[in-house]
Amino acid sequence: MIKHTFWNSDEHRLRAGWRVLMQLLATGLLVVFFTPLFRLFLGNALSRRLGPLVGFTLAVWLAGRYLDRRRFAGFGFSLDARWWADFAFGLVLGTFLMAGIFVVEYGMGWLTITETIYTASAGDSFILALGLSLLSFVAVGFYEELVFRGYQVQNMAEGFNTGRLDPQWALVAAWLLSAALFGLAHALNPNASVVSTLNIAAAGLLLGLGYVLTRQLALPIGLHIAWNFAQGNIFGFPVSGGTGFAAQVLVIRQGGPDVWTGGAFGPEAGLLGIAAMLLGAALTVAWVRLRYPRVAFDATLAEAPMSAEVETDGL
């Protein structure tokens, strides 16, 4: 009985809940190890992103190989031509949605542009500072989507697919739960509130939508990167409560009703952010309809790997 609680005899591996828990513990330990290690050589700014990037990625690779019995590519990295087209669409979509929020707020008189082509440190190269900020958001977009969508959704869906739920509904449950965890992960951000946490969970649903429809992380990663970068470095909004960017195309003074703009947390905490997420979901579905044979949640994400053995060649 005790073994049954932890071990799936049919799949010859730990049960899904324990796999997710162990992956999260491994992530925490590796991030705590690598972040101060990189700080010794690269300084605080780079280590804050590089430490989590290495820690999150290595934890998923280890969990995939030794717990899931799955190649790293199986988490959503086919890297074929369709993958890169989805990634490019995600970049365009994230930029477009944030530009729409900016245009609406500017048109309503809720923000004022106070400066352009800004660097936080006088004498710094604007292009270099902007490029480093972009790399930072590339790292965040990659490792957050890898964990919250690529690892968690797939494992949770497999765990829920026990007979009480069919694979399709198991995937829906995993999509909802991972989005809730994504919201909670941002609950301690600067200027966070109950509303911002719920809205970030809604953003998790938008990001996860591209994954559950395509089984690939291309669209979510592209969308995540572009949304954050455009939000903070191009249009000058706070990014999930964070401010103080090294370089900004526009610096703004925010006004308007917080219920619409999100106030100090940024657009994700406002109704305009929710409107952008709904539009983003509609455009994601339209893109999938154009590029894929059908629009449906890919229920194969809820199915365990065909073999309990990991191939040793490649990832």
Span 231-263, pLDDT tens digits: 999 999 999 998 889 999 999 999 999 999 999
The strand pairing partners of 247, in sequence order, are 119
Residues present in the chain in total: 315
Mean pLDDT of the chain: 92
- Identify which of 122, 130, 184, 127 has the alpha carbon closest to the alpha carbon of residue 152: 184
Whole-number pLDDT of residue 198: 97
d(CA 89, CA 234): 18
pTM, rounded to two decimals: 0.93
DSSP 117: E
Identify the three-state secondary structure at position 125: coil
Q: Where are the domains of the chain?
A: 78-302
- For 96-126, what is each residue's pLDDT tens digit? 999 999 999 999 999 999 999 999 887 889 9
pLDDT at 308 over 50: no
The DSSP H or E segment spanning 259 is helix 258-261
Six-digit token string for 280 = 């983003």
The strand pairing partners of 116, in sequence order, are 250
Rounded mean pLDDT of 5-15? 84
- For 70-91, what is each residue's pLDDT tens digit? 999 999 999 999 999 999 999 9
- For 192-246, what is each residue's pLDDT tens digit? 999 999 999 999 999 999 999 999 999 999 999 999 999 999 999 999 998 889 9
Beta-carbon contacts of residue 81 (< 8 Å; ≥ 6 apart): none
Strand intervals (E) in the chain:
7-8, 13-14, 111-119, 247-254
- For 146-191, what is each residue's pLDDT tens digit? 999 999 999 999 999 987 788 999 999 999 999 999 999 999 999 9
Report yes or no: 259 and 270 within 8 Å, Cβ to Cβ: yes
